[in-house]
Amino acid sequence: MHELYGMGGELMIRFDLDSFEAVTQQLMAAESEREICEIAMSGVSSVFDVPLGALWLYDSDASELQLAASTERADEVFDRPVTYRPGNSLSWEAFEQDDVRTYSELDDERSQYNENSPVSSEIILPLAEYGVINIGSLTPATFDDETVRLARMYATHVQAALQKAEREHDLRVQRDRMEQLIGVVSHDLRNPLHVVEGRLELVRETGDLSHLDDAAEGVARMKSLIDDLLTLAKKGYAVEDRTTISLDTIVERTWEMARTADATLKIEGSAPVFGDQNRLKQVFENLFRNAADHAGDDVTVWVGPLVGDGAAERDSANERGEGRVTGFYVADDGPGIPADKLNDVLSVDAFSGSNNGLGLSIVAQITDAHGWDISVSESRAGGARFEVTDGTKPVSPFHSW
């Protein structure tokens, strides 16, 4: 056990090596970001014998450090979560410069987030690209070189656990994606291929060229499946640079590209959407094509923002009530989706042996990668209604929460 006795009545800080080893073992056994963050914070009091600790994870899309976990005492002292952004705090400076910072008297620091903070002393530990850990006390304390060295070790183990969990997560995603690809290639591509083979054989036997129409449909089906497979294989969960675009703008642009023949688009209002525009176009394009495939070329498609709880569909933009925009919907007047299929229609497994392809599965994966929720229900015209809403999933460096 390392002990530091402060001068002038300052806090005595202890570093308990036994507790440190126990926390290290728990960290390396953890499987998710959330578990790692909670373990790291639960160990602060026993390892450092200080009451305050918090861990922030970096969200590259929002360019900010978001609070992921904290000690019980920190939750009591601070009544709301703190978010760090460029230039607004000492923690951001430490993260940006990847430099451990120690402060024995925070009152002397003008760059701190809250000049009236009750925290008196603090050590800030960057976690490379993952975020920062803050450990502090409500009374003055001094951090000697040995304390800083051991604190660095603590942060290094947390960082290593995050790296390990990220690698394992990426491997799981790749494995799941490969299993999806294998399943579709081994089953779904064989069906249209058999159709093509059968019709060509009939042409050879009978000379009736009308069978070529069915063969052409089989080829088109395979082409569509291959396009979906390439999207799934190349992109998967990837969401790149996010920007804000108006709902009506991206819908109109996508509608022009989608092969919707004589379908009718009705935009029922607009709202800002923050996301990867290329992936969002895939979402709308796949939903538009899904409507045309099931409802016919003359399908009517409604798109609009969800306001408040989004429970009621509106017939026009003017009828939308006031409230917070929570997402958007895409609805059609097609035959709808059977009630017993609503829960699994967005699953890859639901498409095996069907004529739907992977379009809706790709929609589900893209929305999930944005941290959004997607659901399907019956539209006001009896067709399908897809709702994409602000998700309960945190947008984090990787999706393991």
| Model pLDDT for residues 356-395, shown as the tens digit of each residue | 456 787 788 788 878 888 888 889 988 999 999 975 444 4
To 10 degrees, what angle do helices 211-234 and 145-183 make? 170
Q: Are strands 264-267 and 373-378 parallel, antiparallel or unpaired?
A: unpaired
Q: Indicate the pTM of the whole model.
A: 0.55
Q: pLDDT (tens digit, 9 = 90+) per residue, 186-212? A: 656 776 788 888 889 999 999 989 889
> What does the mean pLDDT of the chain come to?
78
Q: How confident is the model at residue 159 (pLDDT cuts 50, 70, 90)?
A: very high
Picking from 168, 164, 173, the residue whose alpha carbon sits closest to that of residue 235 is: 173
Q: pLDDT (tens digit, 9 = 90+) per residue, 263-311? A: 899 999 999 988 888 788 888 988 988 888 777 778 899 999 998 754 4
Q: How confident is the model at residue 1 (pLDDT cuts 50, 70, 90)?
A: very low
CA distance 14 to 350: 57
Could you give the C-alpha distances from 75 to 23, 54, 67, in angstroms and in order?
21, 9, 11
Picking from 96, 346, 393, 366, the residue whose alpha carbon sits closest to that of residue 239 is: 366
CA distance 153 to 48: 12
Lowest mean pLDDT among 7-21, 63-77, 134-148, 310-324: 310-324
Q: Is the pLDDT of residue 233 over 80?
A: no
Q: What is the pLDDT of residue 313?
A: 44
Q: What is the pLDDT of residue 365?
A: 78
Q: How confident is the model at residue 156 (pLDDT cuts 50, 70, 90)?
A: very high
Picking from 344, 332, 247, 250, the residue whose alpha carbon sits closest to that of residue 293 is: 332
Tokens encoding 102: 């120690």
Q: What is the pLDDT of residue 267?
A: 94
Q: pLDDT (tens digit, 9 = 90+) per residue, 119-149? A: 888 899 999 999 999 998 888 877 778 888 8
Identify which has the larger pLDDT, 260 or 17.
17
Q: How confident is the model at residue 9 (pLDDT cuts 50, 70, 90)?
A: very low
